[in-house]
Amino acid sequence: MIRSRCEVLSVKRTGVYHSLTLVAPDIADRARPGQFVEVAMPGGRTFMLNRPFSIHQASRRGGFAGTLEVVFDVVGPGTEWLAEVEQHQQLDVIGPLGRSFQYPKGLRSCLLVGGGYGAAPLHFLAEELRAHDKDVSMIIGARSHERVFKPIESKRLATSLAITTEDGSLGERGRVTDVLPQMIARNHAEVVYACGPNPMLRAVAELCAGFKIPCQVAVEEMMACGLGVCWTCAVPLLSADGGSWWNVRACVEGPVFNGARVWWEQWLGPKPVEPVPVDAEDTDAGEAGPDAPGGAERTSAEGGEPEAPRQSAPRRDVAEASR
């Protein structure tokens, strides 16, 4: 990890989200998909903790100095301040942090699932996977169309793209998990990568377990430092044999985990009541099966954008996610 003063190259809006491009050649050179950076807040305010953001794009040194792009939603005083920074302003940034997504050896067909701006780091991942000759398909979902992250660019990145919104304002009405089974089938997906609100990750991981497909999830948890010293961002992880567990740090041992290893129940509590699954053909998938279209009422926490307190994010603006 490197700490450096980074110039803001540009500030943009992407739907309801904000994006910052930073001149950070040393960090960009080392960054890999799924990793994140910590951005320091200005001194002399009542909010002090650095804010973690997953890396949406990293362009390594070419003709220009390397840059990093992060995407965020305004959810508290920190992101409110960050949304107001101007071009050429300097920010104090530490990164790259955490473990990245890992590329499947011998597996070819990759399905990427993003909720809200959790889709942001998946763009970086999609480009890397394509550079490794993998097939990339994608599902992106959100509460409503303006919160679907970069649908047009996603179409360019993925050979097959499905979009879901909970209000039906773009793509199919429903959640990413509603279309996950058919996307797995249609694309013969061999591996799933997911980023978004934790309940969505849980639903995706459980579905993938039913389909016996490996699944890597980039999680979010409240973190004070992002450096491995505060021990606030704990995620309960099962041992390989499932016989024991330990709280590991999302910032160091994560944020990317094997979805089958996360002990979701311990972490997020009892699973919300599930509607009847549709794919009756695979009984193994029953418990983790997809929602029946138009079936029983869904719990608001499942998939798409989260309700308070946990913000959807690759790394949500953690310190203030409880707004």
Residues near another protein (CB under 8 A): 1, 3, 30, 32, 40-41, 46-50, 94, 96, 99-100, 102, 104-105, 107, 191, 209, 212, 214, 216, 221-225, 227-235, 237-243, 245-248, 252-253, 257-258, 260-261, 263, 265-267, 307-309, 319-320, 322-323
Please report how close the Cβ of residue 186 comes to another protein at its closest, in angstroms. Answer: 21
Please report how close the Cβ of residue 82 comes to another protein at its closest, in angstroms. Answer: 14
Please report how close the Cβ of residue 187 comes to another protein at its closest, in angstroms. Answer: 18
Shorter beta-carbon distance to another protein: residue 152 or 240: 240
Please report how close the Cβ of residue 90 comes to another protein at its closest, in angstroms. Answer: 15
Please report how close the Cβ of residue 231 comes to another protein at its closest, in angstroms. Answer: 5
Alpha-carbon distance of 219 to 194, in angstroms, equals 9
For the chain, what is the largest distance between any 2 Cα atoms, rounded to a whole number of angstroms? 60
Shorter beta-carbon distance to another protein: residue 9 or 230: 230
Is the link from the previous residue into 309 a cis peptide, with omega within 30 of 0?
yes
Shorter beta-carbon distance to another protein: residue 166 or 317: 317
Q: Which residue has the tokens 């608001």?
A: 300
Alpha-carbon distance of 23 to 115, in angstroms, equals 27
Please report how close the Cβ of residue 272 comes to another protein at its closest, in angstroms. Answer: 15
Shorter beta-carbon distance to another protein: residue 144 or 232: 232
Alpha-carbon distance of 112 to 29, in angstroms, equals 24
Shorter beta-carbon distance to another protein: residue 24 or 41: 41
Please report how close the Cβ of residue 22 comes to another protein at its closest, in angstroms. Answer: 18
Please report how close the Cβ of residue 259 comes to another protein at its closest, in angstroms. Answer: 9
Shorter beta-carbon distance to another protein: residue 170 or 208: 208
Rg (CA), the chain: 19
Q: Report the 3 state secondary structure along 117-185.
A: HHHHHHHHHHHHHHHCCCEEEEEEEECCHHHCCCHHHHHHHCCEEEEEECCCCCCEECCHHHHHHHHHH
Shorter beta-carbon distance to another protein: residue 104 or 151: 104
Shorter beta-carbon distance to another protein: residue 92 or 172: 92
Please report how close the Cβ of residue 193 comes to another protein at its closest, in angstroms. Answer: 10
